[in-house]
Each structure stands twice: as structure tokens, then as C-alpha cells.
Amino acid sequence: MQQSKTSMNHKDLPQFAVLQLSGCAGCEVSLLNANEWIEKFDLVYMPLVVSAYEVPPVDVLLISGGVRSDEDLYNLRRAVRFSKKVIAVGTCAISGGVANLGNRDEVRELFMSQTERRDLPRLLPKSQPVDAFVDVDLYLPGCPPTPELFMAALFDDKEFKPSKTVCQECGRKKLKDMKPKHLTGFQRGEVDPDICLINQGYLCIGSSTRGGCRALCTRPGHPCVGCRGPSDMLIEKDSKAWLESIQRVFAALTDIPPEEIREALVSPQLALFLFQFSDYAGTGRPLRSKEKVL
Amino acid sequence: MTTLTFPLSRIEGHARVEIEVRNGEVLSTRFQAMEKRGFSLMVKGVPAEQMPVIVPRICGVCSTAHHVASVKALEDAFGVQPPPLAGTIRELLMLGQLIQNQATSLFVFTMPDRLGVESIFHVSAEEAGKDVQFNIARRALMVRKLGTDLITLAGGQFIHPVKAVVGGVSSGVDSGKAAAFQQRLKVALPTACELVDMYWDISLRMKDRIGTWGDDQPAYYITSTRPEQPSFDTDSIRVMDPAGDYCGEYTAAQFHDTITYEETDYSYAGRTSYKDGVMRANSLARANMTRRMGTKLADGYLKRLREKFGSPAHPILLFDLCRGIELVYAVERAVELLALPLDEEDTDVPYTPRDGEGWGLVEAPRGPLIHHYVIENGKIATGEFIIPTVHNMLAIERALRVAAERYITADNVNMELERAVGRVVRAFDPCIACATH
């Protein structure tokens, strides 16, 4: 059988690498759901799918996962030195993500006393995002970012304009006369398929969360937990501004007492989960400029 | 003494193999899981009802299994029985997971070993050989994406699903979307079979080159699928002994009474054993412990396997072939389920949360997965995750020893060992993010 080698002349293609730090590989799995890149890029390093043991100099370096071990830190610092463009992908790499649950002191006390091993990468005191250590050219938040977002980042697609908020992409109807008096329990009760989740008393923060995910969670009825981080309106402000924005939305759409909302949003017990995905600004690090966030 | 270190790629997560050798004698073979995030501690204090959305983040490859196991653990604690429709939709979720996982393991992780390339994205026509069709990467990604899209259809979000909830699922599946997706699966099924056929052929050729399907001893097998036909939304674990006799059936809550779990100081992952014996979980365990697959094409492949290798079969490279059978099964089974009415109202039942203890079990692609929670004041006091990969840890290390002894002599180390290490580990398809969690 005669075969051509049309698309696999790798030498002429721009090269990219994917460095996975401590994470769940969900970002990598998402990337593998896109195939537009196969003939346009040479994937030179991504241990999940390629046998290669060092990040070579590349045009684009995608970094997923948080910096959890000394090995993560070593690999990160070495990889960025020879990369033309560094993109932090996923919530863990950008704002800590679910690993922030482990950064609570009561967890660290147990963790540090129970994880002694020999001859293995040592664990750092906390899990940290990538830009705590190196400069990042572009942030691609999401848990994980959709394949569409990956492609827009990889191809540097200037035409790609994600919606401003998840709310805009959700399409559920907001009702003026359906005002719950209290928050509905997490994931509990019947969900009306067409009406705004806030009208139904769910703690949904899609109104303040960056769009681009096509409202994958809220459409089937799960409140937005903010994995894409704050929208452009809020990303250059501190987390207080973000909290206030969410509270204003609930004040307009519900009769839930403001204290109840505030408690839910800031209490580590009630919203432990919610803000692990969202806390861009509460860390003392410089705020990210919206031009650098896709 | 010499220590040979082999970093691993084309598996989920960070791991390496260390082999200690003295004068040609293999002293030890160790599998080291090299990352840890600490989920069992991280979830302390988390409101119990948030667990189904937090735990998928243990692993983006196995997220769906964690999502469903978590919901089942909470249902056990709260004393809730979900309606049948929810069970069907959860089974669809698990099938989506199985398609995605087996396609990834077969075509992305292990096919390069059979083609002698770094990755399927680096297969040129020359390297692939004249009789292997080109554009493997595109077709492989197309098939694995069916799994992801099925997870999206049944579970909402595409990597970390959200639709399984305590008491059922948050909504059904729209009939139009179900029909369209069923059609897509039907169209893709021949492509999946072509890839599986090609995989068998190149595996046969690899066997001719290396001279073995794996010569490790038989082991205990563990699965939670049913004896008649695989089901991945399950309620008990079965064990088969190395001779092929059944030696027990246990609930998730009986786990610690029957299976020994221990940690080592050289890996962030634990390991298990049954009556001091080595166990194997994953595709070969399921194939050995099921009467049939229950779908037409998959049963054909199972017959082919049994005619050639008998049942139970033990060579470890058969894990890979069994994944192919399961890939075909999952597509066929999903086609069947999508023909059922899935958009009816009765998707969940009300419940009242309460404190207590709950165990949730599912058969993940890598074997039985258990979530165990103790809930106090509505929050997680203890979160325990018993991960399928840990059941294979001793089996991996024993098989590595067999490979090491095959390729190491007093005079030299045959560098085929490097490839053998990769083949052995990938046959078990370990998941390090899960195993260390």
C-alpha cells in the first residue's frame, strides 16, 4: 500500500511541550480531546503520551498542576528557561485549585507527619501555583479548560473571544418574581431545567466567573463553582470586589439574607470547595492582568 | 551492587522503576510512585455533600469512577436507594469512562511499544510498516473522544462530571441527544474494531519478537463486576485464586477483614495482598471472572482470547488484549442503553443527610474502587480511598522481577530490559494520581 507522509514532517512544525506537575492529568485528558493540533504542531514532550524525559527548547510550553514537590520545582525552573512562550493551564497551576484544601494548617500538620519516605521527591510545605516561581505569558484557567480553549491558546487565536461570564453562556432564564428565602442545600432537590439556578436558591457564581467553558456545569443543573476564576471585570481587583459582586447578584435575584450569602461564600466550612477554585486574589500575590488571561 | 533506574512515561502520573542487581542477581524490583497530594487528609472537614464534586479531582483520567463511588458512599451513609433510571445513567457514565480509558491505554500508552515509536503522534508511514494504516493518531483520538463525550452526555461536565447526586442523578438524558449519540457510536464501532484488530496483529508480532506474552506466575484475581456479564456499577468484590476457583465474595465494608493493605517507605502508593498472595485487578481479572461479555462483537473477541490462551489466562500482556475486548463491549453496551427511555422524570429520590459511615464501590477501568467516609456533624471526619492500582502493586513488582531476571546476566544487561519495564508496567495501566491520591 502506497502511503504518503504529508502531515508528519515534524521538523517544519512549531514545537510544544506539556509539563505536568502535581495534578490530576485532567488538563492533559482535555487536550487529547482536541485533534486540530496533530498536523500543525510537533508534540515533543508530554510524558503521559510521549516517551521523552527532558523538556527540550520549545515554542510553546504548557504547564499543568501545582508545585507540590522539590522535583516539580526543579522541572518547572528547568523547562521555562528554553521556552519561548509559557502558558499556565488549569486551576491548579494558576490558583492552586483543589490542592488548596491541603494548604490548611490543620491538614498540613497531619500531612507532614504522615508522609515520610526515602529516596523520593520531597514534598514542599504547601502546594503553590506556577507563577509563584516563574513568569507566565498566558493563563488558561479551568478545571480543566475545554479542548476549544486549549486550541485557542495553542494557536494564539486572536479571533477567539470567550463570553465574558459563565452566566452569559448558560442561557437559563432569570426570573424577577422567583425569590428564594434561603439557600438550597448543595446538590439537593429538584432542579428546574430552564430557570436560573440562583432563582432556585443554588449558590451559583456563574455571574462573576469567566466565560469560555460554554456553561458545561450549569446547563445540566450544577451550580458554577468558579473554576475559570473571576471575569475580566473583576480579575484585576481584589477578592473583596468579587465577593461583593456575587452578593449583589443574590440581593437582586433572591430574598436570601445577605449574611447567609456572605457566610456561605467566605466560611471555609460552607464554601471550602467553592473558593478553592476561585481564589485568585486572596493569596497576596500580584493580580494577573486581564490581557494575560484567556 | 548496581541500581538501575527507569523513569516511566506513557502511564498516568509520575513513577519510576528501580532494579537492584549484584553480579547478575536481581536483588529487588521496586515500583515507585513519586507524587502525592494527600486527598484523604485534604477532605477532612469538607461538607460531605460536596464530596462528589471534589473527589473527581483525584484523577482526571478516573474522575468518573470517583464521582460515582463518592455518591454511592454517601447514599450508603444516608440510607438512600436511587431509582433504576439513575442506575442506568450511572452505568452510561462508567461506560464512557471505560471507552476513554481503554482507548487511551491501548492506542496512546501501549501501541507505541508495539510499533517501536516514541508516541502515536510520531508514527510515520515508514515506521508503522506498510501494512499498518496511517493516521492512527486521529482515529485513536476519535475513538477515545467517544468516551469523553458519553461522559458529558450522561454526566454534564466532560472531565469532572457533576450529574450523579445523592439519591440518583440530577437530570435524565434528552431523547434526541441520546439517539444522535447512539448513531455516532454505531458509526464509530467499526473503526474501534479495526483499531483493536490491528492491535492484536501488532501484539502477535511483538510476541514473536520478544518470545513471550509474559512468563510470570498466576495470581489471585479481584474484580467487582458480576459473574454473568460485566457491570461497572457494582456492590460486591469477588476473588479468584490462581487455580481459577472462586474463593470469596465481599462487600466494600468487609474490605479490611479480607484484604491486607500496607504502605512502604519507598513509594507514595500503598499495596494490597490477599492471604499473603499477589493479586491482579483490571481487565484480565474481569475477563477471567466473567462468563461472557454479553454483547455480540465483544463476545467474539473473548472467544478468540479463550481459544488461544484458555481461561483463566495469566500472561500479563493479555491485560492489553482484554482492554480491547472491553473497549468494544463498552461501545456496544452503550448503544443498548441509549435505546432505553432516559429522559423520564424519575431520576432521583429525596433524602435526609445524617452522620455515620458509608462505603461506595464501583468497578473502575483499573479494578474495584472503594470510597469510605465517616461523617460527623455533616462533615467528613475520615475519608478513605481504596484504589484499584494498589491491588496491582505487588503484581507489577513481581512481573518486573521476572523481566529483570530474563534480561540481566552476570555479564551484561540486555537493553531490551528498558522496553520490557515499560511493557510490564503499562500492561497493568497503573494510575499514580489515584494510587497516591
Residues 43-82 of B with CB under 8 A from A: 43-47, 49-50, 52-54, 56-61, 63
Q: Both A132 and A191 in a single domain?
A: no
CATH number of B2-436: 1.10.645.10
Same domain membership, residue A139 and residue A32: yes
Per-residue pLDDT band at A7 (split at 50, 70, 90): very low
pLDDT at B12 over 80: yes
Mean pLDDT of chain A: 86
pLDDT tens figures, B160-207: 999 999 999 988 999 999 999 999 999 999 999 999 999 999 999 999
Q: What is the pLDDT of residue A226?
A: 87
User: Do residues B305 and B313 touch, judged by C-beta distance below 8 A?
Assistant: yes
Question: Would you list the domain boundaries of chain B?
Answer: 2-436
Per-residue pLDDT band at A1 (split at 50, 70, 90): very low
Give yes or no: residues A33 and A115 share one domain: yes
pLDDT tens digit sequence for B97-136: 999 999 999 999 999 999 999 999 887 666 555 545 557 8
Of residues B132 and A186, more confidently modeled: A186
For CA atoms A258, A264, A268, A273, the dihedral sign is: negative
Of A98, A114, A222, which has the smallest distance from its Cβ to B54's Cβ? A98
| Residue of A123 and B11 predicted with greater confidence | B11
Same domain for A259 and A234, yes or no, is yes
Confidence check: pLDDT of B73 > 90: yes
Contact B37 A4 (CB under 8 A): no
Q: A137 and A235 share a domain?
A: no
Mean pLDDT of chain B: 94
Under an 8 A CB cutoff, do B165 and A187 touch?
yes
- Residue pointed to by grid coordinates 428564594: A180
For residue A255, what pLDDT band results from cuts at 50, 70 and 90?
A: very high
A219 and A115 part of one domain: no
Q: How many domains does chain A have?
A: 2
Q: What is the reported pLDDT for B136? A: 84
Q: List the single residue in B8, B37, B157 with the smallest CB-CB distance to A216.
A: B157
pLDDT mean over A286-293:
86
Q: What is the CATH number of the domain that holds A141?
A: 3.40.50.700
Average pLDDT of the residues in A258-277: 68
Residues in B touching A273 (Cβ below 8 Å): 46-47, 50, 53-54
Residue A292: inside a domain: no
Chain B neighbors of A189, CB-CB under 8 A: 350
- Cα Rg of chain A, angstroms: 21
Distance from CA of B23 to the nearest CA of A (A): 23
Residue A277 has pLDDT above 70, yes or no: no
How close is the nearest chain A Cα to the Cα of B84, in Å?
Answer: 17
> Do A224 and A90 share a structural domain?
no
A99 touches chain B (CB under 8 A): yes
Of A53, A143, A186, the CB nearest to B7: A53
Does A130 have pLDDT greater than 70?
A: yes
Q: Give the residue from chain B lying closest to A185, CA to CA.
A: B49
Q: Are residues A140 and A245 in the same domain?
A: no
Do A136 and A177 belong together in one domain?
Answer: no
Residue A138 domain-assigned?
yes
| C-alpha distance from residue A236 to each of A130, B52, B94, B118, B298 (Å) | 18, 32, 41, 43, 55
How far apart are the C-alpha atoms of A280 and B411, rounded to whole Å? 58
Is A1 domain-assigned?
Answer: no
Between chain A and chain B, the number of residue pairs with CB atoms below 8 A apart is: 228
Chain A nearest-CA distance from B324, in A, is: 18
Residue A123 has pLDDT above 70, yes or no: yes
- Domain interval for residue A149: 10-154
Does the pLDDT of residue B364 top 90, yes or no?
A: yes
pLDDT at A271 over 90: no
Residue A208 grid coordinates: 462573576
**How much is the pLDDT for A97?**
81
Q: What band does A10 get if pLDDT is binned at 50, 70 and 90? A: low
- Closest CA of chain A from B344, distance in Å: 13
In a domain, A172, yes or no: yes
Measured CA to CA in angstroms, residue B24 lies from A127, A139, B17, B27, B160 at distances of 42, 51, 18, 9, 47
Nearest CA in chain B to A222: B162
Instruction: Decide which of A186 and A235 is more confident.
Output: A235
Q: Residue A133 domain-assigned?
A: yes
